[in-house]
Amino acid sequence: MTNNIKAGIVGGTGYTGVELLRLLAQHPQVELHAITSRGEAGRPVADLFPNLRHHVDLTFIEPSVASLQDCDVVFYATPNGTAMQQVPDLLDTGVRVVDLAADFRLRDPAEWQQWYALEHACPGCLDQAVYGLPEFNREAIRSAQLVANPGCYATAVQLGFYPLLQAGVIATDGLIADCKSGVTGAGRKANLGTLLAEAGDNFRAYNVAGHRHLPEIRQGLQQATGQSIGLTFVPHLLPMIRGIHVTLYAPLVEQAADFQSIFANCYSQEPFVDVLPAGVLPETRSVRGANQCRIAVQRPQQGNMLVVLAVIDNLVKGAAGQAVHNMNLMFGLSETAGLDGIALLP
């Protein structure tokens, strides 16, 4: 354990990168050591992100292993396919890595290539990588050198289904995840579909035929429960900046269970999962800027279908906040260090 963890961020100009900067700049046991960007090298970070003035005094630098090997931990907030080009050399120097992209989430390199249309550059690292959902893999994360930070949809969906699958009260097939995300989930890049005039006052589904988080969700739930999972997952784009709301549908196989207690007992010791009282429904604004997942369970008309509702901030619990939680575990810190901020309301 150290009181002065040197942290580096590769890809510090995207939405998850600036969220990492915001969280790490306030972390009591972290020193921001290096921030990389090919396009912004030489530019002060606070010039690009004025909210960080007087909090982050670094200048963007070119990404290279040499510029990062003095760090204790490096976060990759880069597009899919970037981290896998550099991580093996960085691991060889002893640096610990948290990848916020998808490069190390799937265990099977052939499946990764199928979904991401790239040949995996370092398939040998996939067995070494620990899937960074703390509620499932806390102990493995503590000793990991390489952590694959989960996707945003994957985080909310897995946290919603897991207690019921673990308790054996729902079917393992016929599960449905109806999910909605704000536009920051698409990243900080020029894209016609996320322009204000296109996304505002509009609501639409996308990637109905298959979203890249689908195999990750199935893999995670199967590893956590030891059961084969049949899931239909449909994402939608919401006309808002931050937030994810998932509505999960699960056929019941056990009618008499106390579903509220199943969730309450499962997450009673989890600092970042809030099981709401019976009858209370979660709202995305209740987690804006916070590393929280708020969950409710309902059984409409006492029927045969259970409904779980969960909300997260896609940039915090769905990305940067969860990455910091993983770092805290990796370095033996308090799990809540740097993550105890209250959500912004209104």
Cα–Cα dist 87/177, whole Å: 33
What digits encode the pLDDT tens for the residues 7-20? 999 998 999 999 99
Active site residue 152: yes
Cα–Cα dist 57/53, whole Å: 8
What digits encode the pLDDT tens for the residues 222-253? 998 899 999 999 999 999 999 999 999 999 99
Catalytic residue among 122, 125, 152, 179: 152
Q: Which residues pair with 237 in a beta bridge?
A: 181, 204
What would the mean pLDDT of 257-268 be, rounded to a whole number?
Answer: 98
User: Which domains are present in the chain?
Assistant: 5-128 (3.40.50.720), 153-314 (3.30.360.10)
Per the listing, tokens 């630098």 go with 61
- Judged against a pLDDT cut of 50, whether residue 121 lies above it is answered with yes
What digits encode the pLDDT tens for the residues 132-144? 999 999 999 999 9
Helix, strand, or coil here: 5? strand
Structure pTM? 0.96
What would the mean pLDDT of 116-136 be, rounded to a whole number?
Answer: 96
In the structure encoding, which two tokens stand for residue 73, read together?
Answer: 């931990």
What digits encode the pLDDT tens for the residues 266-314? 999 999 999 999 999 999 999 999 999 999 999 999 999 999 999 999 9
Per-residue model confidence (pLDDT) at position 101: 96
What digits encode the pLDDT tens for the residues 67-90? 899 999 999 999 999 999 999 999
State the SS3 of the chain: CCCCEEEEEECCCCHHHHHHHHHHHCCCCEEEEEEECCCCCCCEHHHHCHHHCCCCCCECECCCHHHHCCCCEEEECCCCCCHHHHHHHHHHCCCEEEECCCCCCCCCHHHHHHHHCCCCCCHHHCCCCEECCHHHHHHHHHCCCEEECCCHHHHHHHHHHHHHHHHCCECCCCEEEEEEECHHHHCCCCCHHHCHHHHCCCCEECCCCCCCHHHHHHHHHHHHHCCCCCEEEEEEECCCCCCEEEEEEEEECCCCCCHHHHHHHHCCCCCCEEECCCCCCCCHHHHCCCCCEEEEEECHHHCCEEEEEEEECCCHHHHHHHHHHHHHHHCCCCCCCCCCCCCCCC
What digits encode the pLDDT tens for the residues 161-220? 999 999 999 999 999 999 999 999 888 887 888 888 888 999 999 999 999 999 999 999
Helix, strand, or coil here: 34? strand
What digits encode the pLDDT tens for the residues 12-57? 899 999 999 999 999 999 999 999 998 899 999 999 999 999 999 9
Per-residue model confidence (pLDDT) at position 3: 66
In the structure encoding, which two tokens stand for residue 78, read together?
Answer: 């880069």
Rounded percentage of the chain residues whose pLDDT exceeds 90: 91
Per-residue model confidence (pLDDT) at position 1: 44
Per-residue model confidence (pLDDT) at position 65: 86
Per-residue model confidence (pLDDT) at position 51: 94
Cα dihedral 274→292→160→206 (10° resolution):
150
What would the mean pLDDT of 83-108 be, rounded to a whole number?
Answer: 96
